[in-house]
């Protein structure tokens, strides 16, 4: 699709400011007749029913800031267009260095992921997080705060895809720690993925699939 000059200059402006870049999806009709390998769960595409569709590329870990920014962008998009939140379909693709963010608190504590990623506890200088910062909200969290967690995002109809290639990092940790074969370690690692996260062959394939379904790409 040829981008109109005004839109193109707008995208350049975003890039110059160092902010997230929104890349327009193709406006061609999605071909849902493409054959699909049964190994990969593509049922998530049925959730993309909004008038506006977004996919956030999330390759960096940190404290999960990019995830929160993606949720906020979806909220602001709904506000701008006068839509209800359900009319903005949002996909998050977690890949590359961010892959630990798809794992539960048990994994984070056992393998000291907070220390590995250098994520200190708030107000501490020599202690590190032992829980996934975006997986779940505290029991006393407000609904608005809970919406910025993976649990809240999934409950609202959001989709989280993850890179199976990067997920091999978690598999390797269980293989070494528990002296397991690859199949056993894979099964154990999958038991510790945050419920609702869907693995794709790679994160890039997830991004392609989401854009094929009409999602505009939001890059960090």
Please report, for the domain that includes residue 167, its CATH number.
3.40.1260.10
Q: Look at residue 104 and tell me if it is in a domain.
A: yes
pLDDT at residue 131 in the model: 95
Is 8's pLDDT higher than 60?
A: no
In a domain, 14, yes or no: no
Is position 139 within any domain? yes
* Number of domain units in the chain: 1
More confident residue, 180 or 12: 180
Q: What is the pLDDT of residues 143-160, one digit of tens each?
A: 899 999 999 999 999 999
Ordered alpha helix ranges (H), 48-202:
65-81, 105-110, 113-116, 143-146, 150-155, 168-178, 182-191
Domain that holds residue 198: 43-219
Q: How far apart are the first and last CA of the chain?
A: 23
Tell me the per-residue pLDDT of 22-43, one tens digit each, with 9 for 90 and over.
555 544 455 555 667 788 999 9
3-state secondary structure of 27: coil
Rounded Cα distance, 59 and 158, in Å: 18
Q: Determine, yes or no, domain membership for 147.
A: yes
Tell me the whole-structure pTM to 2 decimals. Answer: 0.84
State the average pLDDT over residues 4-23.
41
124: in domain: yes
Question: Binning pLDDT at 50, 70 and 90, where does residue 2 land?
Answer: very low
User: Does the residue 59 lie in any domain?
Assistant: yes
Does residue 209 lie in a domain region?
A: yes
Q: Average model confidence (pLDDT) for the chain?
A: 87
Q: Is residue 49 part of a domain?
A: yes
């Amino acid at each position: 699709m040829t981008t109109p000059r005004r839109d193109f200059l707008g995208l350049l402006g975003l890039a110059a400011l160092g902010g997230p870049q929104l890349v327009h999806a193709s406006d061609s009709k999605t071909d849902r007749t493409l054959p699909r390998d049964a190994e990969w769960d593509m049922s998530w595409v049925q959730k993309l029913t909004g008038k506006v569709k977004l996919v956030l590329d999330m390759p960096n870990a940190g404290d999960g800031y990019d995830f929160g920014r993606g949720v906020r962008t979806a909220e602001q998009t709904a506000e701008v267009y006068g839509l209800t939140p359900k009319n903005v379909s949002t996909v998050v693709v977690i890949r590359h260095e961010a892959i630990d963010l798809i794992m539960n608190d048990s994994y984070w504590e056992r393998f000291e992921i907070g220390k590995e990623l250098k994520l200190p506890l708030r107000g501490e200088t020599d202690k590190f997080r032992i829980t996934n910062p975006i997986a779940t909200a505290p029991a006393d969290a407000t609904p608005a705060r809970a919406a910025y967690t993976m649990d809240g995002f999934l409950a609202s109809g959001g989709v989280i895809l993850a890179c199976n290639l990067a997920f091999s990092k978690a598999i390797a940790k269980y293989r070494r720690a528990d002296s397991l074969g690859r199949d056993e370690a894979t099964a154990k690692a999958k038991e510790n993925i945050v419920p609702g996260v869907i693995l794709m062959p790679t994160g890039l394939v997830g991004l392609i699939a989401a854009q094929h379904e009409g999602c505009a790409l939001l890059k960090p």
